[in-house]
A and B are shown apart, each in its own frame.
Chain A
Amino acid sequence: GQQLNQSPQSMFIQEGEDVSMNCTSSSIFNTWLWYKQDPGEGPVLLIALYKAGELTSNGRLTAQFGITRKDSFLNISASIPSDVGIYFCAGRTTSYDKVIFGPGTSLSVIP
């Protein structure tokens, strides 16, 4: 079945550093999504991507939809303590299809 892989599995960075994480799939997706989950809460949508090659920003966050449709990456610039959490990539084939989540990247920011 469809599976997503995320790397790295976890990251420890200094406050102010830039962060880069990526997501790969064995199959094609037509929508890529990036969510952040804080402890004890549900995932919150950060960025949605709908076209191959698309580059979208949301404040300090930038994500890209890979041209092969099998990967995506998320960058966070100038990290701050509230960036701590687990970042999930997710993919969807059609607009009515189920959303497949990756295993997540855990981000820790050292003040």
Chain B
Amino acid sequence: ETGVTQSPTHLIKTRGQQVTLRCSSQSGHNTVSWYQQALGQGPQFIFQYYREEENGRGNFPPRFSGLQFPNYSSELNVNALELDDSALYLCASSPVGWQYNEQFFGPGTRLTVL
């Protein structure tokens, strides 16, 4: 059973650029959530995707958008990057009917905005 994988591992961008981060969910998991983790803080919920549709969103502006594909993999897109977007971006997957099945996290993508 393959766990949650994310790519790339690290990324450096400049202000104003756009970035796409990718996530492959764990086998059998059809729900994907994205989190932003700033240095020294806990993960902050960005949004969740279920059946290829956004199913809940945290307090993040519209320039943070996502996609989920039929194979349950997902992308996080961030437009017009700002310095404060520098963070570890975590993807977590969970199975259908996940009342008692919690999220499993990938290793994250470290984004640095210069």
Residue interface mask A27-66, B partner, CB < 8 A = 1: 0000001010000111111001010000000000000000
Whether B41 and A103, one on each chain, are in contact in the complex, defined by CB atoms closer than 8 angstroms, is: yes
Given A40-B107, A42-B4, A42-B108: A101 and B43 interface contact (C-beta under 8 Å): yes
Q: Classify the interface of chain B: helix, strand, loop or mixed.
A: loop
A41 and B107 contacting across the interface, CB-CB below 8 Å: yes
Q: Of B14-22, B69-77, B79-87, B94-102, which binds chain A?
A: B94-102
Select from chain A the residue with minimum beta-carbon distance to B48. Answer: A98
Please tell me if the beta carbons of B108 and A95 are within 8 angstroms of each other in the complex: no
Let me know if B112 is at the binding interface, CB within 8 A.
no
> Hey, which chain B residues are within 8 Å of A42, CB to CB?
4, 90, 92, 105-108
Q: Judging by beta carbons under 8 Å apart, are B42 and A1 in contact?
A: no
Q: Is B7's CB within 8 Å of the partner chain A?
A: no
Residues 3-56 of B at the A interface (beta carbon under 8 Å): 4, 33, 35, 40-45, 48, 55-56
Contact B107–A101 (Cβ < 8 Å): no
Tell me, rounded to whole Å, the shortest Cβ–Cβ distance linking A74 to chain B: 15
State which of B45, B106, B108 has its C-beta within 8 Å of the C-beta of A99: B45
Contacts of B42 in A (CB 8 A): 4, 88, 90, 101-104
Please tell me if the beta carbons of B107 and A33 are within 8 angstroms of each other in the complex.
no
B103 at the A interface (CB under 8 A): yes
What 1/0 mask marks residues of chain A from 85 to 111 whose CB sits below 8 Å from any chain B CB? 000101000011111111110000000
Of chain B, the residue at the smallest CB distance from A95 is B99
Q: What is the CA–CA distance of A27 and B42 in the complex, to the nearest angstrom? A: 18
Q: Which one of A90, A98, A104 lies within 8 Å of B41 (CB-CB)?
A: A104
Interface residues of B (CB under 8 A from A): 4, 33, 35, 40-45, 48, 55-56, 58-59, 90, 92, 98-100, 102-108
Between A and B, 12 residue pairs with Cβ closer than 8 Å are A40-B107, A41-B107, A42-B90, A45-B103, A45-B104, A88-B42, A96-B55, A99-B103, A101-B44, A102-B42, A103-B40, A103-B41
Q: Which residues of A contact B (CB under 8 A)?
A: 1, 4, 33, 35, 40-45, 48, 50, 88, 90, 95-104
